Amino acid sequence: MAGIGFELKKLFVGSGVIRKLRAYAYAAVICSGTMLLAILLLLGIQAMAQRYGLSEHMREVLVATMVYALFLSMLLTSGMQMFLSRYVADMMYQNQLGKVLPSLLGASLVLMLPGGLLYGFIVASAQELTLLQKLLNWLLFMELIPVWLLMSYITAAKDYKAILLTFLAGVLLALLGGPLLRLLGVDTMTALMAGLTLGYGVMLVGMLRVLLRYFPRGQGALLGFVAWFSHAPDLLLTGFLSMTGAFVHIILMWFSPLGSTVTGFYRQASLFDSAAFYAYLVTLPTNINFIISVEVNFYGSYREYFSAITDGGTMPQIQLARSRMSRTLWQEITNLIIVQIFAMVVYMLLARYFLPLLGFTADMMHMFRLMCIGYSLYCIGTSLMMLQLYFNDRYGAMATAAAFFAGNLVGTLLSLRLGILFYGSGVILGGLLMYLLAFPRLSWYVRRIDYNVYCSQPVFNEVTHDRWREIAEWLEARAARRASR
């Protein structure tokens, strides 16, 4: 990941507003591209649906089907995203680039089979949708699975111009496809759903083309990555808990007094959903800052410390490098917190003026402010969790993610008993627990870095029975035989 930051940092060199804006645009796409695309499309399609005279109920059905496709695909792929990031990094380090793309296809198929069946059952319950509209929404869900997974791969290509153009092409087709189809006589609901599906389809194809220019097609087994289940199984749970924790309060609110059934199995809590939707945008500054500043500046001292160990540095040199690494780490974390607090305050002040224009009530503004604080804590905690993974403290990272999930879950359930003034406080409790666990854990781990580097590894390499590796080797051998025919 630090390589991404170093490449992006080069874009900030030089003067000119256009250069700076372009660099931030690249960083935003790399960090939160699919999420930003989803937000932009939700807003755009809602506006077009209202302009074209779609009834209020059918607009709710359209938004609910879009949100369910986005949320469920995101949750389904969340654990595999973090796991595949580690797998791709290891394959690149081992110069086995031929195994990268097969893992993307294999992981997509593994998730699409059960996911497609589950979502097919959900979308079939939407009585207001025609068969074609149900098929379009189902296809959107199926497209989103590889799209979310691709974010673990696309950053390795470092072709940021092509990535940005791909995102823009997807957005334009999704927003313009609906009106064009409507001019051809397609009804409004079907046209908007088709435009959205086509937009994500173009983005999927475009990102695959970028990857094919960087990685070979590969001849390995599609499921060869299962060997890593025995090396880093905790990453699956860490990714799932982190992502689920970010949205568990929304799901619970669908079944709260604010919630209502839209159609079939689709539910919503429109007041809370809108507040959470805009509050989540407060995480963007930290996401970008982590890539272009924290990782870049910290990684330099991090690499210096470990190079001093592996390249035969003297003890004074190692100690000096360790001191620099620790000092840089805390400086960057402090700057990250300051930037996030400043961004949160400015965003909340500006929201007082533009959100009421969008129909926000006093209760919605109150929920928005609570979730802005909670999501700010969450993105800081997530940054600390990523730094834990830098030091391979995977159990610490898993505990950090679990703390956020549990805090948000319990806090939201309590808020349902306390009343509407506390709606959104679950995110604050979860984010606070995440921060209070991650910060001292990271501090403790860095203070004991010499022990963790020198003494935490086994003295002897014990040969143990590894079922996942045996399965992977069998799959690789089978793929090799098939390729030789």
Enumerate residues 6+ apart whose C-beta is below 8 A from 404.
241, 242, 245, 246, 378, 381, 430, 431, 433, 434
pLDDT reading at 271 higher than 50: yes
Q: For the segment 168-183, what is each residue's pLDDT rounded down to a tens digit?
A: 788 788 888 888 888 8
pLDDT reading at 6 higher than 50: no
DSSP secondary structure of 142-182? HHHHHHHHHTTTHHHH--HHHHHHHHHHHHHHHHHHHHHHH
The reported pLDDT for the residue numbered 2 is: 42
How far apart CA 436 and CA 403 sit, in angstroms, is: 9
Question: Is the residue at 283 inside a domain?
Answer: yes
Residue count of the chain, please give it.
Answer: 485
- Judged by average pLDDT, the poorest of 29-38, 62-71, 394-403 is 29-38
Question: Is the residue at 259 inside a domain?
Answer: no
pLDDT band, very low/low/confident/very high, at 3 (cuts 50, 70, 90): very low
Question: Is the residue at 268 inside a domain?
Answer: no
pLDDT reading at 390 higher than 70: yes
pLDDT reading at 19 higher than 70: no
- Judged by average pLDDT, the poorest of 22-31, 253-262, 275-284, 424-433 is 22-31
Domain's final residue, options 232, 259, 290: 232
pLDDT averaged over every residue in the chain: 84
Question: Is the residue at 485 inside a domain?
Answer: no
pLDDT band, very low/low/confident/very high, at 93 (cuts 50, 70, 90): confident
Enumerate residues 6+ apart whose C-beta is below 8 A from 417.
none
Which is more confidently placed, 272 or 289? Answer: 272
Residues 287 and 397 in one domain: yes
- Judged by average pLDDT, the poorest of 168-172, 234-238, 273-277 is 168-172
Span 381-402, average pLDDT: 90
pLDDT band, very low/low/confident/very high, at 34 (cuts 50, 70, 90): low
Residues 445 and 339 in one domain: yes
Residues 285 and 222 in one domain: no
Which 8-state DSSP code applies to residue 338?
A: H
The reported pLDDT for the residue numbered 463 is: 56
Two tokens at 56?
């209020």
Decide if 141 contacts 119 (C-beta within 8 A): yes
Span 71-86, average pLDDT: 89
Span 423-431, average pLDDT: 94
Residues 344 and 436 in one domain: yes
Question: Is the residue at 254 inside a domain?
Answer: no
Question: Is the residue at 332 inside a domain?
Answer: yes
Which is more confidently placed, 42 or 114? Answer: 114
Span 383-388, average pLDDT: 90
Residue 335 neighbours by CB distance under 10 Å: 14
Give the SS3 label for residue 396.
helix
* In the chain, % of residues over pLDDT 70: 87
The reported pLDDT for the residue numbered 43 is: 77
pLDDT band, very low/low/confident/very high, at 48 (cuts 50, 70, 90): confident
Q: For the segment 312-362, what is each residue's pLDDT rounded down to a tens digit?
A: 778 888 888 888 888 888 888 898 899 899 999 999 999 999 899 888 899
Residues 300 and 192 in one domain: no
pLDDT band, very low/low/confident/very high, at 16 (cuts 50, 70, 90): low
Domain's final residue, options 208, 232, 256: 232
The reported pLDDT for the residue numbered 287 is: 79
How far apart CA 305 and CA 309 sit, in angstroms, is: 7
Residues 315 and 410 in one domain: yes
pLDDT reading at 459 higher than 90: no
- Whole-prediction pTM: 0.86
Tell which phi-psi region holds residue 419, choosing left (phi > 0), alpha (psi between -120 and 50) or beta.
left
Residues 11 and 156 in one domain: yes
Chain CA centroid to CA 232, Å: 19
Enumerate residues 6+ apart whose C-beta is below 8 A from 330.
none
Enumerate residues 6+ apart whose C-beta is below 8 A from 357.
none
Residues 55 and 130 in one domain: yes
Residues 40 and 153 in one domain: yes
Decide if 174 contacts 48 (C-beta within 8 A): no
Structural domain for 225, as ranges: 2-232
Span 17-36, average pLDDT: 60
Residues 56 and 182 in one domain: yes
The reported pLDDT for the residue numbered 232 is: 79
Domain's final residue, options 232, 263, 291: 232
State how many domains the chain has: 2
Residues 205 and 279 in one domain: no
Give the SS3 label for residue 268.
strand
Residues 214 and 297 in one domain: no
Question: Is the residue at 249 inside a domain?
Answer: no
Looking up tokens 């870095």 gives 449
Q: What is the 3-state secondary structure (H, E, C) of 90-108?
A: HHHHCCCHHHHHHHHHHHH
How far apart CA 7 and CA 221 sit, in angstroms, is: 31
How far apart CA 21 and CA 29 sit, in angstroms, is: 12
Q: For the segment 50-59, what is each residue's pLDDT rounded down to a tens digit?
A: 888 888 889 8
How far apart CA 238 and CA 26 sit, in angstroms, is: 27
pLDDT band, very low/low/confident/very high, at 461 (cuts 50, 70, 90): low
Question: Is the residue at 466 inside a domain?
Answer: no
Which is more confidently placed, 477 or 351? Answer: 351
pLDDT band, very low/low/confident/very high, at 140 (cuts 50, 70, 90): very high
